[in-house]
A and B are shown apart, each in its own frame.
Chain A
Amino acid sequence: MPRPEVKFVTFSIDGREVEAPEGAMLVDGAKYGDVEIPVFCYEPKLGEPVGACRMCLVEIEGIPRLQTACSTPVRDGMVVHTQTERVKEAQNSVVEFLLVNHPLDCPVCDKGGECPLQDITFGWGRGISRMVEPKRHFKKPLELSPLIAIDRERCILCYRCVRFSQEVSEDYQLVLHERGANSFVGTFDGHPYVAPFSGNIVELCPVGALTSRAYRFRARPWDIEGAGSVCTLCPAQCNVEFTVRDERVLRVLARENAGVDDGWLCDKGRFAYQSIHSEERIVQPLVREGDELRAVSWERALEAAAGALAKAKGKVGAIVGGQTTNEEGFLLQRIMREALDSPHIDARATGAAVPLELQRALAAPGLQATVPDLEFAHTVLVLGTDPIDDAPILDLRIRRGVRRHGVKLAVATSRPSALDPNAKLWLRYAPGAEQAFVAALDAALSGADGFDALAEAADADPKALLALAAMLTADSGSADDGAGGAHGGEDVVIVWGERLGVAALPALLNVAARLGLDGRPGAGLLELPAGTNGRGLREAGVQPNAGPGLAEPTQADGKSAREIAAAAAAGELTTLYLLHSDPLREHADRRLWERALERASTVITHASVMTDAIREHATVVFPAESYAEKEGTVVHPDGRLQRLRPAIGRPGMVRSEWQLLTDIAQRIGHDLGVLTGPMATQQLVAAVPFYAGLTLEEIGGRGVRWQEREAAAAAPAAPAGPFDAGTPAPAPMPNGALRLGTFRSIWASTEVEISPALRFLAARQQLEISPADAERLGLVTGDRVEVGADGTRVSATVTLRGNVPAGTIFLGEATAESSATELLGDQPRLVEVRPA
């Protein structure tokens, strides 16, 4: 869909000529003339205006009745009055009506001081009350969920929260009951409103009816400061504003950025700030003495780490976690390559390195889709990822595109997706058969001979595949927007997950080429990396086979994550550096990693919370900064460099980690030449040709996509396709056993587990199984089972899901206990399920 062009028109408001974008609603248009029109229900993010609260009534010449400014678009020559007696009378009336049943308990209301109802009553109300009848009195506050409290006395029925639930998150859990003056907000039969985005309703509520149970009564608006930064808990990298009081983060609010998050936050992003101030946080350096980790001085810890590293030259492996900043990753890879002669550094939790030529092809600036493209493309294909888990906020953006702009959505995954109900077409393939599936799609597009065999190898429905191919190559013909005419066909965006695996990438690039995605505005690929800053770390050279800027490495290729584990387990690498990474939890093949950590003589880690891996294996533990304390940059999956700014001071002995890395380098005799945080950024920018000239100022509060800058021309040349897709191995046939598919839930993370408010959501291991398989095995929902392969077992609770394909089960990765990663090797697995 072409994005509408914005034209400006002139209209008159309160006697002034004002220019405003044509079609903007008067409420917004008025702002161009510095006129404020009060609103309650109007919130463009929620979809079409509803005109329910009637607060925004204005007089428009030529129309006898007062009109709602929230729903009346600005037109050329329109004459609007917002200050007449008639308008004032209407405004006074609406405020009076709203207060008829509002308790006016402002002194004890958590919203006091930042309440639109207070402000509007003051600004547009009559100032007196004629209502002498008793108001409604009800029990309050009540729990709406473990996260949200509801005070129904205060509710002014603006419908924002229920519209959010129905039109934005589309979970349809929060609804209005009854009608008229009896209407109230609630859920079905007393079920809690628990959904991935539920916290947004707190921010949307214009009164104190919906409050955050975690924030209630922790601060008054005049006690707090706002600090803008970026949430690094997942690759969506939503822009946030931390509410800070006395060096503590007390709340996280959305900081709307249309290019990133559209102003929404998931509940993890909104509530996991509590992990920053967790009791379990490691706030001082620890060094192993015998079986125990002991708190030591920085001097001791640095000495211990530097000493071990210096001794292990050529035998160090580094695993970098997704929340690492570009600067930290960049400095560590410098140390590894320049000082330790160990290019064994990797940030990919999938374990395997991606050939450089594929990386370069995938990173071609013209091939990158942006987040807003998801909303305006003709067709979006979600491939091998479920955004709700991998980058939640994009789930909302895709829904918005489907709902508001008629985007045609296709979903191709092995596990049933939250987006299936919105998709025009969804199809499944066997877990592990990603390569075969994408190759089959390529064959469906090209009409190549091998199609049937490939579809069979992927265990995918060939008819559905052909339908998908037809959908992707559709030409509505209606697009005479230039782009459509020049390219033919329609804009397609493919959102794909890093979990798709390396083997599927050549075919993916071939698909992209066939669809002509390169160089086409509004179309392209959007990768969801497994780690928050996966893209930035790769671009900063945190990978074994490429230096900063996806350059050919100056040394021989290092080892990938999986190879590091194998080498450590074999004693070839003796020292492991874990920068914000817990491979036992996040990487495949836990048993291999256990052996690696066991065998390594030194394990140095940066961590904020104690985990099994650290407790048992770490030699030196450096306390890590939280994301609210960090300084540096990260790169959004669509190439937007974003800036983290420290919102609070660091607790205990925690130091900035870029500095810690330079200190370590210093001690092993290598001066990195970095004295301040911005100097690290400068070095990074200088090292990555396509970042050239970028400054922190330029990145600013909204970030900047490097593809949109001139320096993008310096991106490494993308090799021409087609790429050799290889011969995909067929999906293993279950033959009585079951195929194992895995996913990582949004709730499977340490931050969730140690945030008291979110703890109830922490992912527990569940076995998702089809009704057919469950019947065969005599299982019902709630049964405890053991899932095993090759002598390893994990225990899980059975959940029947009608849409799981028979023959396949799904388990979660990175759960606190019984993670599915224990069962994962480097090959697709068949497993057996037994009652526990």
Chain B
Amino acid sequence: MSDVARFGHGSRIPGWDDAVDLTKAPAGVPDPATTPVPPELRSEIEAAMAKYPDFRSAAIPALHAAQKLHGWCSPEALEQVACVMRLTPGYLTAVATFYDMFYMEPVGRHRIFVCTNISCSLRGADAVHDAIVDAAAGDPDFNIRSFECLGACDIAPMASIDGEYVGPLELADAERIVEDLRAGRPVLEEKNIRRRRSVDPGARRSATRDEDARA
């Protein structure tokens, strides 16, 4: 039998093993008098709140905005959002930790989400992921994750790199990705999904017309 995993010190799930810090004050709704919020962030959140019948709907857009500013959902970021939205930072913690795109720890600037779900993995995604990890060689500037289905199985294996979908990827693309990002170039431009045309033979009007003519 393999060793039974014991998680006496530090579990795989962040937070599980943490007691609270009894020296901290309870985290209620932050008082605006003592919680400075950058004005751009405040106005972005307030604009989002105005879009919905219930201001709480702006929680995700507000967290996106704060994450963009702070790089991650830091306690400070959450407190700022909480202060503008008049919610507790706890409420926002519950929301933020539910979604994969919010980071509760600092991460690298460049997001590389490699899809390793079924359709991509059938076409070699796991190896591509590993190749990109190797190519980045631990550079803290890169935030490389294997991600669930990104909805682009037509270009499998693929990745979302700083929000741009590229694929189909080959192992050799790994180096290019890292280089392009470091150089500040668009990544693998020729494989960007913006450029992909439909493979459905009937999707072009001319094709349909031909079909009609024959019928």
Asked if chains A and B are in direct contact (CB within 8 A), the reply is yes
| Chain A contacts to B: CB under 8 angstroms | 134, 136-139, 142-146, 152, 162, 166, 171-179, 182, 184, 186-195, 421, 770-771, 774, 781, 800-803
| Shortest beta-carbon distance from B106 to chain A in Å | 14
| Residue interface bits B1-26, CB-to-A below 8 A is 1, else 0 | 00011111101010111111110111
* A138/B86 in contact, CB under 8 A: no
* A190/B21 in contact, CB under 8 A: yes
Instruction: Identify the closest chain A residue to B23 (Cβ).
Output: A192
* B16/A184 in contact, CB under 8 A: yes
Which residues of B have CB within 8 Å of A143?
Answer: 19-20, 22
| Shortest beta-carbon distance from A601 to chain B in Å | 48
Q: Which of B8, B13, B19, B26 contacts A195 (CB 8 A)?
A: B26
Which residues of A have CB within 8 Å of B20?
Answer: 142-145, 186-187, 190-193
Within 8 A of A (CB), among B75-101: 75, 78, 86-94, 97-98
Q: A187-B93, A194-B26 are in contact. List 15 more A-B contacts (CB 8 A).
A: A136-B11, A136-B16, A137-B11, A143-B19, A166-B91, A173-B27, A173-B90, A174-B90, A177-B93, A184-B15, A188-B75, A189-B75, A193-B20, A771-B33, A774-B33
Q: Bound complex: CA of A801 vs CA of B89, how far in Å?
A: 18
Instruction: Identify the closest chain A residue to B30 (Cβ).
Output: A802
Which residues of B have CB within 8 Å of A774?
Answer: 33
Q: Bound complex: CA of A353 vs CA of B76, how far in Å?
A: 52
A-B contacts, 6 listed (Cβ < 8 Å): A139-B16, A143-B20, A145-B20, A152-B16, A172-B91, A175-B90
* B31/A802 in contact, CB under 8 A: yes
* A146/B31 in contact, CB under 8 A: no
Which residues of B have CB within 8 Å of A177?
Answer: 15, 93-94, 97
Which residues of B have CB within 8 Å of A187?
Answer: 20, 27, 90, 93
Interface pairs A-B: 4 shortest CB-CB: A175-B94, A142-B19, A802-B33, A191-B27
Which residues of A have CB within 8 Å of B4?
Answer: 134
* B94/A191 in contact, CB under 8 A: no
| Shortest beta-carbon distance from B87 to chain A in Å | 7
Q: Bound complex: CA of A186 vs CA of B86, how far in Å?
A: 20
Within 8 A of A (CB), among B12-62: 13, 15-22, 24-29, 31-34
| Shortest beta-carbon distance from B44 to chain A in Å | 21
Q: Which of A134, A171, A190 contacts B88 (CB 8 A)?
A: A171
* A138/B17 in contact, CB under 8 A: yes
A192 with B26, Cβ < 8 A, contacts A136-B7, A137-B7 known: yes
| Shortest beta-carbon distance from B47 to chain A in Å | 21
* B7/A138 in contact, CB under 8 A: yes
Q: Which of B28, B32, B98 contacts A173 (CB 8 A)?
A: B28
| Shortest beta-carbon distance from B37 to chain A in Å | 12
* A178/B17 in contact, CB under 8 A: no
Instruction: Identify the closest chain A residue to B88 (Cβ).
Output: A172
A191 with B6, Cβ < 8 A, contacts A145-B20, A172-B87, A781-B34 known: no
Classify the interface of chain B: helix, strand, loop or mixed. Answer: loop
Which residues of A have CB within 8 Å of B75?
Answer: 188-189
Among B6, B19, B33, chain A packs the most CB atoms within 10 A around the CB of B33
Instruction: Identify the closest chain B residue to A150 (Cβ).
Output: B19
Classify the interface of chain A: helix, strand, loop or mixed. Answer: loop
Which residues of A have CB within 8 Å of B31?
Answer: 800-803
| Chain B contacts to A: CB under 8 angstroms | 4-9, 11, 13, 15-22, 24-29, 31-34, 75, 78, 86-94, 97-98
Instruction: Identify the closest chain A residue to B17 (Cβ).
Output: A139
Which residues of B have CB within 8 Å of A803?
Answer: 31
Q: Bound complex: CA of A802 vs CA of B17, how far in Å?
A: 36
* A191/B7 in contact, CB under 8 A: no
Q: Bound complex: CA of A476 vs CA of B11, how far in Å?
A: 56
* A171/B28 in contact, CB under 8 A: yes
Which residues of B have CB within 8 Å of A190?
Answer: 18-21, 24
* B78/A179 in contact, CB under 8 A: no
Q: Bound complex: CA of A194 vs CA of B4, how far in Å?
A: 37
Which residues of B have CB within 8 Å of A195?
Answer: 26
Which residues of B have CB within 8 Å of A139?
Answer: 8-9, 16-17, 19
A-B contacts at CB below 8 angstroms, number: 126
Q: Bound complex: CA of A191 vs CA of B89, how far in Å?
A: 10
Q: Bound complex: CA of A175 vs CA of B4, how far in Å?
A: 31
Instruction: Identify the closest chain A residue to B19 (Cβ).
Output: A142
* B98/A193 in contact, CB under 8 A: no
Instruction: Identify the closest chain A residue to B16 (Cβ).
Output: A138
Which residues of B have CB within 8 Å of A801?
Answer: 31, 33
Among A137, A166, A187, chain B packs the most CB atoms within 10 A around the CB of A187
Which residues of A have CB within 8 Å of B8?
Answer: 137, 139
Which residues of B have CB within 8 Å of A189?
Answer: 24, 27, 75, 78, 89, 93
Which residues of A have CB within 8 Å of B32?
Answer: 802
Q: Which of A142, A182, A186, A800 contacts B33 (CB 8 A)?
A: A800
Q: Bound complex: CA of A176 vs CA of B92, how far in Å?
A: 10
Q: Bound complex: CA of A184 vs CA of B14, how far in Å?
A: 10
* B94/A192 in contact, CB under 8 A: no
A188 with B88, Cβ < 8 A, contacts A175-B94, A179-B97, A801-B33 known: yes
Which residues of A have CB within 8 Å of B94?
Answer: 162, 175-177
A191 with B24, Cβ < 8 A, contacts A142-B18, A177-B97 known: yes
| Shortest beta-carbon distance from A402 to chain B in Å | 15
* B98/A178 in contact, CB under 8 A: yes
Instruction: Identify the closest chain A residue to B26 (Cβ).
Output: A194
| Shortest beta-carbon distance from A573 to chain B in Å | 46
Q: Bound complex: CA of A440 vs CA of B54, how far in Å?
A: 34
Instruction: Identify the closest chain A residue to B5 (Cβ).
Output: A134
| Shortest beta-carbon distance from A689 to chain B in Å | 48
Q: Bound complex: CA of A176 vs CA of B16, how far in Å?
A: 11
Instruction: Identify the closest chain A residue to B90 (Cβ).
Output: A188
Which residues of A have CB within 8 Å of B26?
Answer: 171, 173, 191-195
Q: Bound complex: CA of A175 vs CA of B91, how far in Å?
A: 7
| Shortest beta-carbon distance from B34 to chain A in Å | 5
| Shortest beta-carbon distance from B29 to chain A in Å | 8
Q: Bound complex: CA of A363 vs CA of B100, how far in Å?
A: 59
Q: Bound complex: CA of A774 vs CA of B32, how far in Å?
A: 14
| Shortest beta-carbon distance from B84 to chain A in Å | 12
| Shortest beta-carbon distance from B125 to chain A in Å | 22
Among B4, B8, B18, chain A packs the most CB atoms within 10 A around the CB of B18
Q: Bound complex: CA of A592 vs CA of B97, how far in Å?
A: 57
Q: Bound complex: CA of A190 vs CA of B17, how far in Å?
A: 11
| Shortest beta-carbon distance from A206 to chain B in Å | 20
Which residues of B have CB within 8 Å of A172?
Answer: 87-88, 90-91
* A178/B21 in contact, CB under 8 A: no
Q: Which of B6, B22, B97 contacts A137 (CB 8 A)?
A: B6
Which residues of A have CB within 8 Å of B25?
Answer: 191, 194
Q: Bound complex: CA of A144 vs CA of B92, how far in Å?
A: 19
Q: Bound complex: CA of A142 vs CA of B28, how far in Å?
A: 21
* A192/B21 in contact, CB under 8 A: yes
| Shortest beta-carbon distance from A153 to chain B in Å | 9
Which residues of B have CB within 8 Å of A134?
Answer: 4-6
Q: Bound complex: CA of A188 vs CA of B15, how far in Å?
A: 10
| Shortest beta-carbon distance from A811 to chain B in Å | 18
| Shortest beta-carbon distance from A799 to chain B in Å | 9
A146 with B91, Cβ < 8 A, contacts A137-B7, A184-B15 known: no
Which residues of B have CB within 8 Å of A184?
Answer: 13, 15-16
Which residues of B have CB within 8 Å of A182?
Answer: 13
Which residues of A have CB within 8 Å of B9?
Answer: 139
Q: Bound complex: CA of A182 vs CA of B16, how far in Å?
A: 9
Which residues of B have CB within 8 Å of A771?
Answer: 33
Which residues of A have CB within 8 Å of B15?
Answer: 177-178, 184, 186
Which residues of B have CB within 8 Å of A179?
Answer: 97-98
A800 with B34, Cβ < 8 A, contacts A134-B5, A184-B13, A187-B20 known: yes
Instruction: Identify the closest chain A residue to B3 (Cβ).
Output: A134
Q: Bound complex: CA of A172 vs CA of B26, how far in Å?
A: 11
| Shortest beta-carbon distance from A480 to chain B in Å | 29
Which residues of B have CB within 8 Å of A176?
Answer: 94
Q: Bound complex: CA of A144 vs CA of B146, how far in Å?
A: 33
Q: Which of B17, B22, B93 contacts A188 (CB 8 A)?
A: B93
